[in-house]
Amino acid sequence: MIRIILDNGIHNLSMDKLAFGTGCFADYNDKDSYFLLMDRFFENFKTFDTARSYNEWLPDGKDISEHMLGEWMKIRNNRNNIVIVTKGGFPKNLKSKKDIINRITKEDLQYDIDTSLATLKTDYVDIFLLHRDDLSKPIEYIIPILQDFIKQGKTRFIGVSNWTSDRIAKAQEFIEKEKMVPLSISQCYFSLAESTPAKFDDETIVCINDYEYKWYETNKMPLMAYTSQAKGFFSKYNHVQLKQSEINRFVSDINIERAKRAKMLANEYSVSPTCIALAYLINNPVQTCAIIGPKNLSLLEDSISVKDVLLSKTQIDWLKGE
DSSP 51-116: -TTTTTTSTT-TTHHHHHHHHHHHHHT-GGGSEEEEEE-PPBTTTTTSS-B---SHHHHHHHHHHH
- pLDDT tens-digit profile of 54-111? 988 777 778 999 999 999 999 999 999 999 999 999 999 888 788 889 999 999 999 9
pLDDT of residue 311: 98
pLDDT above 90: residue 112: yes
pLDDT above 80: residue 170: yes
From 313, 143, 287, select the one nearest 225 (Cα to Cα): 287
Distance CA 121, CA 238 (A): 44
pLDDT of residue 95: 80
Q: What is the mean pLDDT of the chain?
A: 95
pLDDT above 80: residue 239: no
How much of the chain exceeds pLDDT 90, in percent? Answer: 89
pLDDT of residue 196: 97
pLDDT of residue 98: 81
pLDDT of residue 240: 65
Q: What is the pTM of this model?
A: 0.97
128 in Cβ contact with 158 (< 8 Å):
yes
From 207, 225, 236, select the one nearest 299 (Cα to Cα): 236
Neighbours of 63 (CB within 10 A): 19
Neighbours of 220 (CB within 10 A): 9
Domains of the chain by residue range = 4-231+282-297
Question: Looking at domain 4-231+282-297, which of 1.20.120.10, 3.20.20.100, 3.40.50.720, 3.65.10.10 is its CATH number?
Answer: 3.20.20.100
Segment 171-176 shows an average pLDDT of 98
Q: Poorest-confidence range of 98-107, 286-295, 299-308, 309-318?
A: 98-107
